[in-house]
Chains A and B, each alone.
Chain A
């Protein structure tokens, strides 16, 4: 695989809201402070959509907006990959409750927002991008699966890519069976060529799964990492935040890991 440039980042998690404020924390230069997650109201979504959208759609729009703004690129020109492990558990819960009723009545709005690619659909509408968009799942390895898909589209379709990986908590009782402890998401703009905004160049290599997975090395942040499949990317973001060359090993599938080598651009 080729080299890819990371040309814009967005992040949202407990105590990690926005790349600029999270960067010194992830780099270990500032203390991590756990904070309640702010309620999101991403301005890029039209008011009517925003009102009816749950956190699954809102979080994706929020971090995508941040990453794209940081990249300085026109969002309508970006193709996209969205990764999730659980899709929208709040809607699953609501529809499953509705169909248990004697006369099931499913909300049409909830149903059309129930598709896994709802965040992708609303994003493409918001920025008027008719470029390809793929929504993909990969369980514990979801971040790596989506990152590979996004990078390969740079190679084969010559697109600049928006990559969004996120998962949000589910309501009781389905929360008991899915391992999402808190909302988390990361978004990145990936380009095939260096931009003025490029933070780092990354290289991907699939390796046998016997190697130890990377950690951030900050206990509270590693708890976020293990509490949400999307947050498995945190060691990569920490490596970028440190602004040092190095590699991280991330989960990919039951037998293979993904090694991402990072070299800062500045």
Chain B
């Protein structure tokens, strides 16, 4: 497919506000996972973005104020992202830049708080509760569109943990059809009791910082993140970024609502489709950023899928030991980590993991490794069997 230039990108998660801090945490092997102060009753670690309580959504957009949109706002304010979108807006027009994001639960914490504060007699939620601009699935895409002064296509993809990755695919299709000239893609998901207690009920949450691909892995740590990228066609963009979206691949497991297909065939289909679309050979992939949640079944099936698609020598790692699993925005967070890895020539290792599962056959790195990277594959797999792989590359040719 015709590659799309990543003209700008930014990410904010437990390992840092913005790209610089995020990369430093990876380079210095500093995990963002801490005992879950968001919900101390749960014996788990989480990847929380500190300080959101003191960072309300700016005045004229205050109707959108909630944790998810605060996180979106903090994310937008990093890495000169707003100014870069502004330049694109002046060039293409505000109605020619789409906003396509991913989330799993949007601002659901706002509804949780409304239920906590509901009238004990009538069961009614507080008058001050603004559902449509906080928890409704569209709320954060609408907020980001307004924050950036855009007036075109606006959508929110919600396919659980593949959501933000699929936003890149949706953007390519819209741009390819000429329905917009540029797109702001990304994802925002924030900590909420629904997900913390929900994943706990499925016995998928670890009581320690998560250890992806480890022999003794014991489940996920939940995190939160906001990240965005500006996509443009290289010939139209005056930007000089040398990083591109070269391929995407999507598939469905058709197997189980909360367990991936154990043989990894659904995941392999998505990875294979991304490689095919990029018109490269599997051997040209220099690094795979795994979905790597540290759940028993995910990591095992993903190892099988990787081995099937690229063999046993391509360096791979899972970075959720740094950030936690940021659910609907994991695809954007890990796209950003993949791009940082290419920019800095550094493959992240697998934080927290001491011994790789001896049954695994793919080349999983525990330590950071300097390397020249031209093509990087990033995997995201979600509940409902929703798989998406993105292929990022250096040089658009």
Contact = CB atoms under 8 A, between A and B. Distances in A.
A159 to B, nearest CB: 10
B382 interface: yes
Contacts of A97: 115
A115 interface: yes
Contact of B383 (A86, A104, A115, A155): A115
Contact of A96 (B115, B124, B201): B115
A106 B200 contact: yes
A85 B138 contact: yes
A256 to B, nearest CB: 7
A85 B158 CA distance: 11
B254 interface: yes
Contacts of B156: 136-138
Contact of A117 (B95, B115, B138, B382): B382
Interface residues of B, number: 65
B129 interface: yes
B92 interface: no
B354 interface: no
B257 A121 contact: yes
Contacts of B124: 173, 176
A72 to B, nearest CB: 21
B201 A106 contact: yes
B136 A86 contact: yes
A138 B154 contact: yes
A200 B198 CA distance: 44
Contacts of A145: 153-155
A233 B126 CA distance: 33
A158 interface: no
B108 A124 contact: no
B157 A136 contact: yes
Contact of A178 (B112, B131, B170, B179): B131
A156 interface: yes
B314 interface: no
Q: Is the interface of B mostly helix, strand, loop or mixed?
A: mixed
B251 A117 contact: no
A99 B194 contact: yes
Interface stretch (A36-44, A146-154, A191-199): A146-154
A114 B174 CA distance: 28
Given A115-B384, A130-B269, A137-B158, A174 B111 contact: yes
A256 B166 contact: no
B95 A255 contact: yes
B38 interface: no
A153 B115 contact: no
B54 to A, nearest CB: 24
Given A92-B108, A149-B170, A112 B258 contact: yes
Contacts of A107: 201
Contacts of A138: 138, 154-156
B200 A125 contact: no
B129 A177 contact: yes
Contact of B137 (A85, A96, A99, A133): A85
Contacts of A136: 155-158, 170
B131 A174 contact: yes
B50 interface: no
Given A85-B138, A152-B173, A153-B173, A122 B257 contact: yes
B102 to A, nearest CB: 10
Nearest to B273: A132
Interface string B91-130: 0000100000000100010011011101000111100010
B308 to A, nearest CB: 15
A253 interface: yes
A108 B201 contact: yes
30 contacts: A1-B177, A84-B137, A87-B158, A99-B193, A100-B116, A104-B197, A107-B201, A108-B202, A114-B194, A115-B160, A115-B383, A118-B383, A121-B386, A122-B384, A124-B252, A124-B385, A125-B254, A133-B159, A133-B384, A137-B136, A138-B155, A138-B156, A152-B174, A155-B177, A156-B176, A173-B124, A176-B125, A252-B153, A254-B154, A255-B95
The 3 closest A-B pairs by CB, nearest first: A121-B384, A132-B250, A111-B198
